[in-house]
Amino acid sequence: MPQGKPDSVPDDGLTTRQRRGRPLVIVHTGPGKGKSTAAFGLALRAWNQGWPVAVFQFVKSAKWRVGEERALTTLGGSGAGGVVAWHKMGEGWSWIQRDTDDHAERAAEGWAQISRDLAAQAYRLYVLDEFTYPIKWGWVDVDEVISVLAARQGNQHVVITGRDADPKLVAFADLVTEMTKVKHPMDTGQKGQKGIEW
């Protein structure tokens, strides 16, 4: 249920209004479902506010997220809310012309573009989908990520999804939710299905 009451009010010299509007770094992590799904749900709210939204999809498979991609790009093109830019590593980032099979290099290029977009204040919501993995695998340096996020100007919210979020990222983020698996149909031999998993 919606709860509007903060547990305590900090002595940070900000008014409630200033504090309320502070842009957030949000992390959805843990082994359960819903990390990315909830991030795309947040994008609906951002779209409704008229905010420009960017999704950077750090996953290889083209099958996953097809529903979210078509829904959000349909909304972005409707003119009724914010615009939506959708970037996929798996099919090659759109701004990269040359072809490479090096995942580490691709992931680093994705992060470099995010850094440029943050510097340009290109969007108000960034969904960095499955971005914990390139950090975990050492393809993108977590200290650099935190430093770029900490230095970002304006009103730019950033949502990062994926398992095993780096403890430094968790410590830095404003809002962290862990999705825990209680029960999953795959436990009883059921595989993923369309409309639910993609």
User: Which residues in the 92-121 window bind its own copies by CB under 8 A?
Assistant: none
Burial of 20 (0-12, 13-18, 19+ CB in 10 A): exposed
Question: Which one among 88, 106, 124, 152 touches its own copies, defined by CB under 8 A?
Answer: 124
Least distance from its own copies to the Cβ atom of residue 22, Å: 6
| 165: nearest Cα among 31, 23, 24, 22 | 31
Least distance CB 8 / its own copies (angstroms): 6
**Residues that contact its own copies, how many (by CB under 8 A):** 89
Q: Are 53 and 83 in contact (CB under 8 A)?
A: yes
Segment lying near its own copies (by CB under 8 A), choices 40-48, 89-97, 99-107, 143-151: 40-48
Smallest CA-to-CA distance from 107 within 151, 73, 70, 56 is with: 56
Helix extents (H) in 86-153: 103-119, 132-136, 142-151
Sites for its own copies among residues 51-70 (CB under 8 A): 51, 59, 61, 63-64, 66-68, 70
Binding to its own copies (CB under 8 A) within 149-178 occurs at 157, 162-163, 170, 173-178
Binders in 15-34 for its own copies, by CB under 8 A = 16, 19-22, 24, 26-30, 32-34
Q: In whole angstroms, what is the distance from residue 83 CA to residue 101 CA?
A: 30
